[in-house]
Amino acid sequence: MATITTETGRAESLATAPAPALKREYPGALVVVEGIDGSGKSTQLYLLKRWLEIGGYRIHFTEWNSSPLVKSATRRGKQRRLLTPTTFSLLHAADFADRCERQIMPLLHGGYLVLADRYIYTAFARDAARGCSPHWLRNLYSFAPTPDITFYFRAPLDVAVNRIVAGRPKLKYYEAGMDLGISLDRAESFRIFQERILNNYDAMVDSDNFVLMDGTVRVNKLQKLMRQIVGERISLQQFAPKKR
Amino acid sequence: MKRGEKSVPKAKAPKAAAARKKKGKAAAAELPSRFYGSPLPGVKPEELSGTLVVIEGTDGSGRSTQISLLTEWLESEGFAVQTMGLRRSYLVGEDIDGLLAENTVTRMTLALMYSTDFFDQLERRILPALRSGLIVLADRYIFTLIARAAVRGIGRDYLHGIYETSLRPDLTFWLNVRPEIAFDREFKKSQTISYWESGRDMSLSNDLFQSFIRYQSMIKREFEYLSKRHGFIEMDGESSVADVNRILRTRIASHLGIRSTHYTPSHALTHLWR
C-alpha cells in the first residue's frame, strides 16, 4: 500500500486521504511537472513550452511560489526564520490559490493549455516531510483542478543532490530543511530532506496517476518522449492557432 | 446561555492525550480534546496549562470593549492575560491590510491568508502563553473566519478541515446583536460602513445599508449553525455593557475557580461602562 513518510518517520496511508475531485467542466487542459530539485523537470517543461510557443499554441506557463501576493510575507518569514510547518504550508497555499483563482481557472475556462512547473504534489511531498498531516494537506488543496497529465521526473538522489549542490555556493535555510533540525550540516540536512520528499513522491505515483520520467536520460531524448506523450494524451488541435 | 463548559478539565487533559495516542484516530473523535483533530505538528496538548477564552461577534457587538474590561478584571485578580485578534500576526497581518485596501483579492486567497495569520498567532503567541499558564482572550477566532468564507461559498467541511489542527477554546462567548443595531453602532463610531463588513465584494445590493444588513444576516445564520456545532455561550449583545460584562465574569470566574466576580472599572476605563 502506498504510504507517505512524515517528519516523525511514521508512515500514514495515502488511501485514507480524500481523492481530489475530477473537475473538468472547462475546455482547457493542464499539464504539470513534479520532482525533487535537480530532477530536470524545469528544463524539460521549458523545452515543452518553447515547442508549443513556437508552434503558436494558446498556452500559459505558471510557476510554484511566484505570486507577488505573498512575496513579502515569505521573505519576512524566511529571513527571520519564523515559519512553522503549518504557516509555511498555508503561505504556499495562499500563493497557489491566488494563481489558481486569477490565472489557472480563468485560463482553463478560456480554453488555454496551462503548463505548471510544480503543482499541489510539491506541497503534498514537501510539507508532509516537514510534519504536516497528509490528510490535512489533501483537504487544503482540494479546490485545485486535477491535471490532465502529471509528469514526475525522477532522478536518483545522488544525481539530483549533486546537480543542486554543485551549482550553488550555499543552500538556503528552508531549502535545506534546516528548520527540521535533522542535521547541523546544511548539505547533509538537504540530502536527508530531499530523500524524504523523494519517498513521498514515489508513494503518489499510482494514486495520482503520475507519468514517470527518467531524469537521467539525455535531455533531447527525454524531451522527444515528453512531446510524444503530450501529443497522445491531449488533443493539441484545439489549442492550435486558428487559420483565417 | 444554555451550555456551559464543554472542554475537558485541565487535570484530565494528559490522560486524554495518552488514551488518544494508544487508540489512534478513532478515539480522538470520541474524546473531547484540546484540539479539534490531530494537534499541530510538535505540540503536546498536556503542556498547555492556560485557558483560552474566545469572544465572537460582529463589528459593533461590543467585543473589544468587553475584552478591555475583562483584561483589567483578570489582572486585578492576579491572572496574566494575552490577547489575539484578526490581522495581528507579525507574519502576514499587514499584508492582509494591504489586500483588503485593494479589493482585488479573491475569496480563497483571502481565506488562506487569514488562516496563515491565525496560525502564526496561535503558534508564536498563544501556545507559548498557554504553556506558561496565561489566560488568552481572543477577540474573534476561527469561527468568524469560517463564517465569512462559508457565506462566500467555500465549503464548511473544507474550512473545518483547515482549522482541525487548531486549539478548542475553553469558553466561547457569542455576543449576538441584530444587524440593524450593529449598523447603528458602527455608523456612530466611524461615520461610515466598511467595504468588507458590508460584504460589498458579494454584490448583494448597491445600497450600503441593504448590503450590510443582508451580509450580516448571512453571517448570523452561519454563527447559529456554528453555535450549535461548537457549543457557544450565546449572549444578548444588545444588553448594557455592565450586564454583558457581569455575565462574562460569572462564567469565566466559575471556570477558573475565582470566588469573587466583583469589579468596578478603573478611572481609565469608566468611559466604556455605559
Three-state SS sequence of chain A: CCEEECCCCCEEECCCCCCCCCCCCCCCEEEEEECCCCCCHHHHHHHHHHHHHHCCCCEEEEECCCCHHHHHHHHHHHHCCCCCHHHHHHHHHHHHHHHHHHHHHHHHHCCCEEEEECCHHHHHHHHHHHCCCHHHHHHHCCCCCCCCEEEEEECCHHHHHHHHHHHCCCCCCCCCCHHHCCCCCHHHHHHHHHHHHHHHHHHHCCCCCEEEEECCCCHHHHHHHHHHHHHHHCCHHHHCCCCC
For cell 463610531, name the residue.
Answer: B189
Q: Do A85 and B41 touch (CB under 8 A)?
A: yes
CA distances from A127 to A11, A98, A136, B91 (A): 14, 19, 10, 19
Amino acid B32: pLDDT: 57
Q: Let me know if A61 is exposed, middle or buried by CB neighbors in 10 A (0-12, 13-18, 19+).
A: middle
Is pLDDT of B268 > 50? yes
DSSP state, B163? G
Does a structural domain hold residue A227?
Answer: yes
pLDDT at position A4 over 80:
no
Q: Which residue of A has its CA nearest to B156?
A: A139
Residue in chain B lying closest to A90 (CA)? B116
In-domain check, residue A241: no
The answer to whether A69 contacts B109, with C-beta atoms less than 8 Å apart, is: yes
Is residue B26 predicted with pLDDT exceeding 50? no
Give the closest-approach CA distance of B162 to chain A in angstroms.
Answer: 6
With an 8 Å Cβ cutoff, are B158 and A94 in contact? no
> How many domains does the structure of chain A reveal?
1
Chain A residues touching residue B107 (CB < 8 angstroms): 101
Residue carrying C-alpha cell 479546490: A143
pLDDT in tens, A14-45: 334 444 445 578 999 999 999 998 999 999 99
B209-237 pLDDT, tens digit each: 999 999 999 999 999 999 999 999 999 99
Q: What integer pLDDT is reported at residue A150 of this predicted model?
A: 98
ipTM of the complex: 0.85
Structural domains in chain B, CATH included, are 46-262 (3.40.50.300)
Residues of A in contact with B165 (CB under 8 A): 86, 133, 136
Does the CB of B201 have a partner CB in chain A at under 8 Å? no
Query: What pLDDT score does A244 carry?
Result: 62
For the cut 60, the answer to whether the pLDDT of residue B5 exceeds it is: no
Chain B contact set for A94 (CB, 8 A): 109, 112-113, 116
How would residue B42 be classed by pLDDT, with cut points 50, 70 and 90? confident
Name the residue with higher pLDDT: B60 or B130: B130
Domain coverage including residue A30: 26-234
A118 in a domain, yes or no?
yes
Instruction: Answer whether residue B18 shows pLDDT above 60.
Output: no
Cβ-defined contact of A131 to B42 (cutoff 8 Å): yes
CATH number for position A100: 3.40.50.300
pLDDT tens readout for residues B93-115: 999 999 998 878 899 999 999 99
Nearest-angstrom CA–CA distance, A89 and A137: 8
Helix (H, G, I), strand (E, B) or coil at B56: strand
Residue B101, chain A, CB below 8 Å: the answer is no
Q: What is the pLDDT of residues B236-253, one digit of tens each?
A: 999 999 999 999 999 999
